């Protein structure tokens, strides 16, 4: 395939062209990194400094800190999933719909305001971390779930009613069972927000460890090689979580087309 087709909108390219384009981008990014890390005043640390950062982090127990961050993330995600699904699935009830809408609107509140009131209610720092992540993720998760419910075609609901399904059966068959694959995909998207916030939240309790604590300590000593190495680790773990959830959705719901 000619390279000129790479710059045409909506052009379908073969696998070889995709690999070539990816290789070009990797070389360009790598070249920019090398150029940006040279000179007396460089923008990024050199690849050698980043490699040294990886080695020092591994010797200091990087795997243990990754496990701590994952445990915090999974615990907050579990509680957020339960709360969000309960509120969203109850939104078709007219009496409870204002609650779901209000929770969706609260996502514009800054994180500082939420932690202020949580500090009054919660005394344990680890519970504070889980609570902040749980609330932060739930607000966006509920928003995504409400949008999903709104986009359900009326024809599906009418079809369920034509099969003599009651209102509660329609809720179960069409909304809950019929949209599990969408829920997994929304969980995948919102988990990225939680993973991104992890660095900030882990600074609440330094003794518990985690990737956020490592970045904070590295930033304190201006060790840019370690900071970039940690950023790459966080990115890699996040991409693995994303790919895992995507594979889970495609494995269990082969009919899913998105």
Question: Average pLDDT for residues 144-156, to the nearest whole number?
Answer: 92
The answer to whether residue 151 is domain-embedded is: yes
List the domain range (segments joined by +) for residue 124: 57-252
Q: What are the pLDDT digits (tens) for 29-49? A: 988 888 888 877 777 888 888
Q: How many domains does the chain have?
A: 1
Q: Which residue has the higher pLDDT, 33 or 258?
A: 33
The label of the residue with tokens 């995504």 reads 144
For 98, how many CA atoms within 13 A lie in the half-sphere containing its CB? 1
Q: How many Å apart are CA 173 and CA 86, to the nearest integer? A: 16
The answer to whether residue 174 is domain-embedded is: yes
Q: What are the pLDDT digits (tens) for 87-119? A: 999 999 999 999 999 999 888 877 777 777 777
Expressed in percent and rounded to 5, the helix, strand and coil fractions of the chain are 80, 0, 20
Residue 177 sits in a domain of what CATH number?
Answer: 1.10.3720.10
The answer to whether residue 7 is domain-embedded is: no
The answer to whether residue 178 is domain-embedded is: yes
The answer to whether residue 231 is domain-embedded is: yes
Q: What are the pLDDT digits (tens) for 219-232? A: 777 778 888 898 89
The answer to whether residue 64 is domain-embedded is: yes
The answer to whether residue 142 is domain-embedded is: yes
Mention every residue, 6+ apart, whose C-beta is less than 8 A from residue 57.
214, 226, 229, 230, 233
Q: Which residue has the higher pLDDT, 126 or 70?
A: 70
């Amino acid at each position: 395939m000619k390279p000129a087709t790479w710059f045409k909108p909506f052009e379908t390219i073969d696998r070889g062209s995709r690999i070539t384009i990816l290789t070009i981008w990797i070389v360009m990014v790598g070249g920019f990194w090398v150029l940006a890390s040279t000179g007396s005043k460089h923008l990024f640390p050199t690849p050698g400094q980043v490699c040294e950062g990886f080695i020092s982090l591994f010797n200091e127990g990087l795997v243990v800190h990754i496990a701590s961050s994952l445990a915090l993330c999974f615990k907050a995600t579990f509680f957020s999933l339960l709360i969000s699904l309960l509120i969203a699935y109850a939104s078709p009830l007219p009496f409870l719909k204002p609650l779901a809408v209000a929770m969706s609107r609260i996502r514009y509140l800054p994180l500082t305001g939420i932690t202020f009131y949580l500090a009054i209610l919660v005394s344990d720092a680890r519970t504070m971390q889980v609570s902040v992540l749980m609330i932060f993720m739930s607000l966006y998760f509920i928003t995504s779930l409400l949008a999903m419910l709104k986009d359900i075609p009326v024809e599906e609901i009418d079809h369920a009613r034509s099969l003599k399904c009651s209102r509660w059966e329609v809720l179960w068959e069409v909304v809950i069972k019929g949209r599990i694959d969408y829920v997994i995909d929304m969980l995948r998207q919102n988990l990225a927000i939680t993973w991104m916030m992890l660095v900030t939240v882990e600074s609440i309790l330094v003794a518990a460890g985690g990737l956020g604590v490592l970045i904070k300590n590295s930033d304190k000593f201006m060790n840019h090689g370690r900071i970039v190495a940690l950023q790459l680790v966080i990115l890699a773990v996040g991409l693995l979580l994303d790919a895992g959830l995507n594979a889970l959705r495609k494995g269990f719901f082969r009919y899913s087309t998105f």
